[in-house]
Structure 1
Amino acid sequence: MRCLDLICAAVLLATAGSLNAAPQVQVVGLFPGAAVLNVDGQRKLVKVGQTGPGGVQVISADSRGAVLRVDGVERSYSLSREYGEGFAVPSKQQLSIAKGIGGHYWVAGSIDGHPVQFLVDTGATSIALNEGQARMLGLDFRVQGQPLQVSTASGTAKAWRVKLDRVKVGTLELLGVEAMVLEGDSPNEALLGMSFLNRVGWREEQGVLLLESKH
Structure 2
Amino acid sequence: MRRLNLLAAVLLVAANLLSAPALWAAPQVQVVGLFPGAAVLNVDGQRKLVKVGQTGPGGVMVVSANSHGAVLRVDGVERAYSLSREYSEGFAAPTKTQLSIAKGIGGHYWVAGSIGGQPVQFLVDTGATSIALNDAQAKRLGIDYRMEGQPMMVSTASGTAKAWRIKLDRVKVGALELLGVEAAVMEGDAPTEALLGMSFLNRVSWREEQGVLILESKL
In which range does the TM-score fall when normalised by the shorter chain?
0.5 to 0.7
How far did 1:151 drift?
0.3
| C-alpha separation in 2, matches of 1:89 and 1:179 | 32
Q: Deviations over 1:27-81 (max 9, x none)?
A: xxxxxxxxxxxxxxxxxxxxxxxxxxxxxxxxxxxxxxxxxxxxxxxxxxxxxxx
Q: Does 1:189 align with 2:189?
A: no
Quote the residue 1:132 is aligned against: 136
Any idea what SS the aligned residue of 1:132 has?
helix
| C-alpha separation in 2, matches of 1:110 and 1:89 | 27
| C-alpha separation in 2, matches of 1:105 and 1:144 | 30
Q: Does 1:112 align with 2:116?
A: yes
Q: How many residues align?
A: 128
Quote the residue 1:202 is aligned against: 206
Gaps of 5+ in 1: 1-87
Q: Does 1:155 align with 2:156?
A: no
* Larger CA Rg, structure 1 vs 2: 2
| C-alpha separation in 2, matches of 1:187 and 1:130 | 6
How far did 1:91 drift?
1.9
How far did 1:159 drift?
0.1
Quote the residue 1:167 is aligned against: 171
| C-alpha separation in 1, matches of 2:144 and 2:93 | 41
Quote the residue 2:107 is aligned against: 103
Letter matched to residue 157 of structure 2: A
Could you say what the CA RMSD is over the residues aligned between the two structures, in angstroms? Answer: 1.1
How far did 1:135 drift?
0.2
Any idea what SS the aligned residue of 2:166 has?
strand
| C-alpha separation in 2, matches of 1:158 and 1:171 | 33
How far did 1:89 drift?
8.8
Quote the residue 1:144 is aligned against: 148
Any idea what SS the aligned residue of 2:143 has?
coil
TM-score (norm. length: structure 2)? 0.57
| C-alpha separation in 2, matches of 1:195 and 1:185 | 21
Letter matched to residue 133 of structure 2: L
Any idea what SS the aligned residue of 2:126 has?
coil
| C-alpha separation in 2, matches of 1:171 and 1:144 | 27
| C-alpha separation in 2, matches of 1:129 and 1:177 | 13
Gaps of 5+ in 2: 1-91
| C-alpha separation in 2, matches of 1:200 and 1:191 | 16
Any idea what SS the aligned residue of 2:146 has?
helix
Stretches (4+) displaced over 4 A: none
Any idea what SS the aligned residue of 2:178 has?
strand
